[in-house]
Copies of this chain bind each other. A is one copy, B any other.
Amino acid sequence: MILARVKGTMVTTRRAQKAQGARYLIVTPCTPDGKEAGPAFVALDTMGSGPGEVVLVSQGSSARQTEETKDRPVDAVIIGIVDLVEEKGKLVFKK
């Protein structure tokens, strides 16, 4: 999994049948202390994630292992909202 920061949303009027009825968010990979790192991608959101939040993203076939994504053409899903990150006993990120 990777940490990512929620950047924005998108509207896609025409979608494949199995891709309908879901909320897709634009996210950017980020470092443990929340700095953006790497190109933006799109993840399905099942958590009600808000803009600016740091989230935990699962990718690949593992992204289909939730109730909402099963059998769907989804390769990235938000599976948690990050509250705290700690490295070497030091708090490096706090929501």
Interface residues of A (CB under 8 A from B): 1-3, 7-19, 24, 26, 29, 31-32, 37-44, 46-47, 51, 56, 58-67, 69, 71-88, 92
Contact = CB atoms under 8 A, between A and B. Distances in A.
7 contacts: A11-B83, A12-B80, A14-B80, A18-B79, A60-B60, A61-B62, A62-B63
Total copies of the chain: 5
Given A8-B92, A11-B84, A12-B81, A3 B42 contact: yes
A43 B1 contact: yes
B39 A39 contact: no
A16 B66 contact: yes
Contacts of A2: 41-42
